[in-house]
Amino acid sequence: MPFHSFIAKLVTQRRAAVWWAVALISAASIYVLVTRMKLDTEVLNLLPTGFESVEGLKVYNRDFSQVRELTFALVSQPEDVDKLEEFAPQFAQRLREQPWCTRVLAGAPIETPEGIRDLQSIAVPLLLNLEPAAFNETLALLEPQKIRERLQRLHQELEAGSPRPQIELGLDPLGVIGPALKPFAGNAAMEEDQPLTSPDRTMRVFLTVTNQASLSAFDCQKLMREVKAFQQSAHEGWDGGPLQILVTGRSAYVAEISLSMRHDIVITLLGSIVLVGAVFYIGFHRWLPLLGMGFSLLLCCLVALAAGLLIFHELNMVTVGFCAILIGLGVDFAILVFGRYQQARDEGSDHTAAVSEAVLTLGKAIFFGALTTAVGFMALLLAGSRGFTQLGVLIALGISFAGIFMLTVFFLVLPRKASTPRRDWMFDLVKKYVRWTVRRPGPMLWISIPLLLLLTAIALSPRPPIIFDVSTHSMEPKRSDAGYALKTIMEKMPARWEPVIGMVQAKDPQQLHDYWQKIAAHWTEVQAAGKIKGFSTPAALALSPARLQTNRERLRSANLSAARDALEAAIAAEGFSRETFDSAFTLLEQLQGAAYPSVQLPDWRTQLPPASSWWFLVDRYFAHDPLLATGFVTTNEPVATQEQKEMLHRELPVAGIPMVLSGWSFTLTDLVPWSQRQLILISALMAIFDVTLLAVLYRDWRLWLIQVATLAMAVCAMIASMKVLQIPLNLLNVLAFRLVLAIGVDYGIYVLLVWQKARQLDHDVAGVVKPVILAGLTAICGFGSLGAANNPTLAGLGYACALGLFWSLAATIFFTLPAAAAAEPKSWREESLQPRVKEPENV
């Protein structure tokens, strides 16, 4: 029994068995979804693997506390700057009181008494970590004569009204903490590096570390709900004009992006359903097949998701969102099949015969259509990204299931009794066009070829250039509060652009110390050469056990008792109050203790209170694993070009030190070649597959050539439209080219396969051209509806695909068809248009 007859018999005479099979498959799929559903919410998993910068970002996100930072900004009117200054401490206090807040940085830690006290508490290890020569120099300051001279000088400066003695005595009454902090000098003070007040004083920035359980999208959303509630009440006590309370940070972005993604999925899915339904109804004036189509598509999604879960054990949230694409693609099959089925019914065939006819006529076309699309998406495996791999496999599976279900399950829902035939104006119109263009292909070709060639010329011309947007902004939702906050901060504090990070993992503390000493020295040279604006490293905080040992031995030879006596005497002689020097005596005691080898030096990490603002500095540099640390390089300009990235790749690493360079801007710039490779190489591979498949499929070099030209011109027209309409390419919508190649080629396949087998050209070809037009329109609407997405990359993908499919459809109708006709002798065309069977009235 032929395959088409077998299918027809199965879905018409073994309906119950097929329904049971459907129920079984559905139940199994639902079971898998319910029991195994695990969503991967990590946005970084969408980026390709194998890139050091991407892996670096993942490590940074996973292992450093700084990713739990939220940045708040208060923005006032210029006339309220004094009020803002007064309000800032209240706001900081309120932040500290929030249950989700671990600590707050509202100003440089060294400006507060607590910050000074905390710094004094870790002075000993910092002092002992000095280079031996510097340590000896510092120790010399504790000689009695030096102590006397210093206090005498400070007294005189105090008399002269200098601010210096009060600074110095407040922070460092013994005079040895200053030298211990010298290694920080290269790192710049936090306030200088990251100013917390804008130059015009209208903005104050507050850094907070949150205690959110994890960085997952759901935890970020939960945190941000609490933060939003705080934002609503945080104006309390403010009596000035309008005050903006802005917040940004990784959690703010993740919460927004994940929520906007949910919004996008709902909106675009609803949009797709409404648009597709409208197009279907306009084309066929029937509801039941529409429901059947919806049911079959739902089944495709269900089975594909279940299969995806079984394969990958978890699914990226973005991947699930992209299942909307599957609906756009699967609809094509339903429209084609139903179009042919309905045509057969209108011609008088019964249900079984019409099913058989639809499967016979379109089975091969749908098989190859599904194959090209599946291969197109499977090509995403070459992208090397976990998210895209899942997407590719999921849609490839889904489209294959769509091919199967539309040729089987879909027929179960169709009414077995024929409805009253109605006049089909669309079919009439298409048939007239087919008849005209087959008879006289010249006029149509004279219009379409110059237009397509013109667009091809625009596409190939260097001007206007195609815009390639790889900025972090291109990944933000269109209406992003976090993005607005960051933009405002960047505008008011232009120095605050994102640094490049250099991460180093060491085996032990000594190696970490040695690595960062070398890196700091090297980066100083790079900075001196003007290649970077500045840098900061954890060199001063990376303690060297060897140095500590050497300096402790040296400390043993110092006469600290004499220093203590000299200090007592100098205080009395100069008339200083003793309480000013309390911390100096404490430090002397600690140094005396440290001189004994039996005394265990306290870990400075345990000395700092958890709420100390200095943790902002420490966490900035050190991961949870203290042997993993990062340095920051501020570039002369924000990283945006390959030249900058290459220069940094060349200049920043130090021979023999394994360093990972990363940072968002750096990574996105790093991914541009990957993205371009995606665009060119993988699209080229897809094109090669298409042209090979077409050669096998048609076995007619003229039709093959026509179809290849159609594809090439459609893609060029798409590029030209993007150039003219200034639609930028981004890291995601480069996928559109592959999609267009995969889907666009199907239109030609459907038309030309029927062309080759047509018994009466205008009738048979119009029978497929009408569904192709409807399928094309639904796909364009489906992708176009992505334009409503809040996420610009998703919207960009939608626009690009809609444009590409529009040109594929237009090229198929206005170029492929007349070109195929022109390739045949006039006599053959005339003959082919003659009716071979009696044509019913109402087709």
Q: Which residues bind another protein (CB under 8 A)?
A: 82, 85-86, 108, 110-111, 153, 155-167, 169-171, 199, 574-577, 580
Closer Cβ to another protein, 191 or 428, answer by number = 191
Closer Cβ to another protein, 191 or 219, answer by number = 191
- Residue length of the chain: 843
Residue 195: CB minimum distance to another protein, A:
10
Residue 573: CB minimum distance to another protein, A:
11
DSSP state at residue 541: G
Per-residue CA distances from 526 to 194, 504, 633, 651 (Å)? 21, 18, 10, 7
- Which residues, in sequence order, are bridge partners of residue 197? 204
Nearest of 831, 822, 807 to residue 705 by alpha carbon: 822
* CA pair distance 339, 232, nearest whole angstrom: 56
Backbone angles phi, psi at 241, to 5 degrees: -75, -160
Closer Cβ to another protein, 156 or 756, answer by number = 156
Nearest of 252, 231, 115 to residue 171 by alpha carbon: 115
Residue 207: CB minimum distance to another protein, A:
18
Closer Cβ to another protein, 185 or 288, answer by number = 185
Closer Cβ to another protein, 110 or 751, answer by number = 110
Per-residue CA distances from 661 to 48, 145, 499, 649, 793 (Å)? 16, 49, 11, 8, 25
Please give the distance of CA 694 from its chain centroid, rounded to a whole number: 36
Residue 107: CB minimum distance to another protein, A:
9
Closer Cβ to another protein, 85 or 625, answer by number = 85
Strand pairing category for 39-40 and 315-316: parallel
**Element (H or E) spanning 73, and its range?**
strand 69-75
Tell me how many degrees the CA angle 147-153-157 measures, rounded to the nearest 5.
145
* Residue tagged 């291969």 (tokens): 375
Residue 108: CB minimum distance to another protein, A:
6
Peptide bond into 199 cis (omega under 30): no
Residue 176: CB minimum distance to another protein, A:
17
Using DSSP, state whether 207 is helix, strand or coil. Answer: strand
* CA pair distance 551, 591, nearest whole angstrom: 11
The 10 Å Cβ neighbour count of residue 144 is 16
Closer Cβ to another protein, 577 or 606, answer by number = 577
Residue 172: CB minimum distance to another protein, A:
12
b/e per residue, 322-344, with b = 16+ CB within 10 A? bbbbbbbbbbbbbbbbbbbbbbb
* CA pair distance 164, 141, nearest whole angstrom: 18
* CA pair distance 736, 744, nearest whole angstrom: 11
Residue 104: CB minimum distance to another protein, A:
18
Give the long-range contacts of residues 792-795, CB within 8 A, separation 24 or more.
792/474, 792/475, 792/476, 792/477, 792/478, 792/730, 793/474, 793/475, 793/730, 793/731, 793/732, 793/733, 794/264, 794/268, 794/321, 794/732, 795/478
Closer Cβ to another protein, 241 or 442, answer by number = 241
Closer Cβ to another protein, 17 or 185, answer by number = 185
Closer Cβ to another protein, 10 or 188, answer by number = 188
* CA pair distance 793, 668, nearest whole angstrom: 14
- Which residues, in sequence order, are bridge partners of residue 628? 505
Closer Cβ to another protein, 82 or 603, answer by number = 82
Closer Cβ to another protein, 57 or 181, answer by number = 181
Residue 153: CB minimum distance to another protein, A:
6
* CA pair distance 245, 258, nearest whole angstrom: 22
Closer Cβ to another protein, 108 or 563, answer by number = 108
**Element (H or E) spanning 187, and its range?**
none
Residue 109: CB minimum distance to another protein, A:
9
Residue 24: burial class (beta carbons within 10 Å; 0-12, 13-18, 19+): exposed
Residue 563: CB minimum distance to another protein, A:
20
Closer Cβ to another protein, 168 or 764, answer by number = 168
Closer Cβ to another protein, 193 or 424, answer by number = 193
Residue 584: CB minimum distance to another protein, A:
12
Residue 97: CB minimum distance to another protein, A:
21
Residue 119: CB minimum distance to another protein, A:
11
* CA pair distance 623, 497, nearest whole angstrom: 22
Residue 604: CB minimum distance to another protein, A:
21
Cα maximum dimension of the chain: 125
Q: How many CA atoms lie within 13 A of 138 on its CB side?
A: 26
Residue 493: CB minimum distance to another protein, A:
13
Closer Cβ to another protein, 154 or 731, answer by number = 154
* CA pair distance 228, 232, nearest whole angstrom: 6
